[in-house]
């Protein structure tokens, strides 16, 4: 049943001044900052793919309320019905882009399995005890010659759009799958053949634009990273600029060798903004893309130099695997998964980011000091920032086969979730030594931890019209 058909008076939402109806989320990014309450729970992907633990992946509910007796504990888990899904990225059925939709709630999490192509729908009406509601089996996805679901975004009319990285056989091209408001497959979103590779995307409806990025074919990255694939051109280096309404590619930007494996795409949150960023993982660059009038352009604005390491035959790239923009559009944060640091940049001038601060925690060069007596395996990876911009959280798993190549100890020890306190006024961060969520201490055994979401929206899922 559609959320729009089941309004829940118990779900709080902000004042929707300027709208005739009330929907999910906040009217503006500034309203999200001012009207939201500090996050008390986090939804975090937990997975066992690539470990010796024979258990299904799960959605973890983490208590992050410092006044709670179960602070930093995983207080509930929603286990998936099958093993081997490799839960990865997930998203809400609705966000602030749908705030004109009367009765629509930000209530259901859409959770794809990267390896299985199975799509799970979880009902979070009871925020601390969510329940699995339905499952879309892989065969329904393959019917549209798509596989390997990745980024899930709500779109303004109540539908859900998922980027798909491969065809039904795990080869190229990828594309996009649309779900309707009842969580049933609505079909292929774009005309087949618009792109070859796919990965992440972000849209700005006020400018009728979407930007998507490229990883590779699932058959290329599933087994792990191989430098021969880079030399063979099997990894992406392009951005695609779409006509959002017509669902067609209007421009493709080749980032060149400086833009190898462009992953996460983030526009500024202001619906008026035509500036955004993408992190090129292998090149360890951050590109700024923007509307230059007759065309969109992208230039590298941050470069992380590779570093020599005694245990490596080649200089170690930083591997910029995740980035986000604070809700006030003032700061950019990104993770250097291999090096082991999280960086904070002032982007008041979007084309000229200025390094404000960084924290080392784990990685191949970071501070090896344990947190809460827990040794750190892996480097900072998936990030999430509080809506007020004062608390930055991250987990340490990237992708099971890549984890096992670069941080094999993580499969035995499990991931951790860490936190930094952020001072937006002075542009600084400090590691919270009292905060540690240990995914290595679970009943079934150590698990990996990946993406993080808040019940009331966050800096990597909310879009405004």
Rounded distance between C-alpha atoms, residue 462 and residue 77, angstroms: 24
Could you tell me which residues come within 8 angstroms of residue 443 by beta carbon, excluding any fewer than 6 positions away? Answer: none
Rounded distance between C-alpha atoms, residue 323 and residue 394, angstroms: 11
Cα–Cα distances (Å) from 297 to 6, 31, 253, 292, 300, in that order, read: 43, 30, 7, 6, 10
Model confidence over 425-434: pLDDT tens digits?
999 999 999 9
The CATH number assigned to the domain holding 362 equals 2.130.10.10
Q: What is the DSSP string of 30-67?
A: HHHHHHPPPP-EEEEEEE-TTSS-----EEEEEE--TT
Rounded distance between C-alpha atoms, residue 140 and residue 137, angstroms: 6
* Residue 97, domain extent: 29-453
What per-residue confidence (pLDDT) applies to 303?
A: 97
Ranges of the chain whose pLDDT falls below 50: 1-17
Sheet with 275-280: list strands edge to edge.
262-267, 275-280, 285-291, 296-303
Radius of gyration of the chain (CA): 20
What per-residue confidence (pLDDT) applies to 178?
A: 98
- Domain assignment of residue 179, yes or no: yes
Q: Give the single-character DSSP code of 196.
A: S
What per-residue confidence (pLDDT) applies to 103?
A: 84
Model confidence over 132-159: pLDDT tens digits?
999 999 999 999 999 999 999 999 989 9
- Domain assignment of residue 210, yes or no: yes
- Domain assignment of residue 288, yes or no: yes
- The answer to whether the CB of 222 falls within 8 A of the CB of 115 is yes
Rounded distance between C-alpha atoms, residue 370 and residue 433, angstroms: 9
pTM above 0.75, yes or no: yes
Q: Please name every residue paired with 298 in a beta bridge, in sequence order, or none if there are none.
A: 289
Give the chain's domain count.
Answer: 1
**Six-digit token string for 99:** 């705030």
The alpha carbon of 199 is separated from its chain's Cα centroid by a whole number of angstroms, namely 11
CA-based nearest residue to 164, from 123, 192, 183: 192
- Domain assignment of residue 7, yes or no: no
Rounded distance between C-alpha atoms, residue 377 and residue 379, angstroms: 7
- Domain assignment of residue 22, yes or no: no
SS3 assignment, position 156: coil
- Domain assignment of residue 18, yes or no: no
- Domain assignment of residue 142, yes or no: yes
Rounded distance between C-alpha atoms, residue 241 and residue 250, angstroms: 6
* Matching residue, tokens 């925690």: 361
Give the phi and the psi of residue 269 in degrees, each rounded to 5. -75, -30
- Domain assignment of residue 167, yes or no: yes
- The answer to whether the CB of 228 falls within 8 A of the CB of 273 is no
What per-residue confidence (pLDDT) applies to 101?
A: 83
What per-residue confidence (pLDDT) applies to 21?
A: 55
């Amino acid at each position: 049943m559609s959320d729009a058909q089941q309004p829940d008076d118990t779900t709080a939402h902000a004042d929707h001044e300027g709208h005739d109806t009330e929907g999910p989320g906040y009217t503006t990014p500034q309203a999200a900052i001012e009207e939201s309450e500090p996050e008390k729970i986090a939804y975090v992907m937990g997975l066992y793919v690539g470990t010796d633990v024979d258990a299904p992946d799960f959605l973890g509910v983490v208590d992050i309320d410092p006044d709670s007796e179960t602070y930093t504990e995983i207080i509930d888990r929603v286990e998936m019905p099958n093993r081997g899904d490799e839960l990865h990225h997930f998203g809400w059925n609705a966000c602030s882009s749908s705030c004109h939709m009367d009765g629509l709630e930000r209530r259901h999490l859409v959770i794809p399995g990267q390896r299985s192509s199975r799509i799970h729908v979880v009902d979070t009406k009871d925020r601390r005890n969510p329940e699995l509601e339905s499952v879309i089996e892989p065969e329904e996805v393959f019917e549209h010659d798509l596989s390997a679901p990745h980024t899930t975004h709500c779109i303004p009319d109540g539908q859900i759009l998922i980027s798909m990285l491969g065809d039904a056989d795990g080869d190229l091209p990828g594309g996009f799958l649309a779900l309707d408001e009842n969580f049933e497959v609505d079909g292929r979103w774009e005309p087949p053949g618009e792109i070859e590779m796919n990965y992440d995307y972000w849209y700005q409806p006020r400018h009728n634009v979407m930007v998507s990025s490229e990883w590779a074919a699932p058959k290329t990255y599933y087994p792990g990273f191989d430098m021969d694939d880079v030399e063979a051109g099997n990894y992406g280096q392009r951005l695609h600029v779409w006509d959002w309404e017509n669902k067609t590619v209007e421009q493709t930007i080749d980032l060149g060798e400086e833009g190898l494996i462009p992953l996460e795409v983030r526009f500024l949150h202001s619906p008026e903004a035509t500036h955004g960023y993408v992190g090129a993982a292998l090149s360890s660059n951050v590109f700024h893309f923007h509307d230059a009038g007759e065309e969109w352009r992208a230039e590298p604005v941050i470069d992380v130099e590779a570093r020599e390491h005694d245990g490596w035959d080649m200089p170690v790239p930083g591997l910029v695997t995740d980035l986000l923009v604070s809700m006030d559009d003032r700061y950019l944060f990104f993770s250097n998964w291999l090096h082991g640091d999280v960086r904070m940049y002032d982007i008041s001038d979007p084309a000229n980011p200025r390094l404000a601060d960084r924290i080392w925690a784990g990685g191949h060069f970071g501070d090896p000091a344990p947190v809460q007596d827990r040794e750190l395996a892996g480097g900072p990876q998936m990030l999430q920032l509080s809506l007020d911009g004062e608390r930055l959280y991250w987990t340490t798993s990237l992708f099971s086969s890549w984890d096992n190549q670069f941080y094999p100890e993580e499969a035995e020890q499990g991931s951790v979730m860490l936190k930094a306190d952020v001072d937006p006024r002075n542009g600084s961060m400090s590691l919270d030594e009292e905060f540690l969520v240990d995914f290595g201490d679970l009943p079934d055994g150590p698990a990996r931890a990946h993406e993080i979401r808040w019940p009331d929206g966050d800096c990597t899922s909310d879009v405004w019209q």
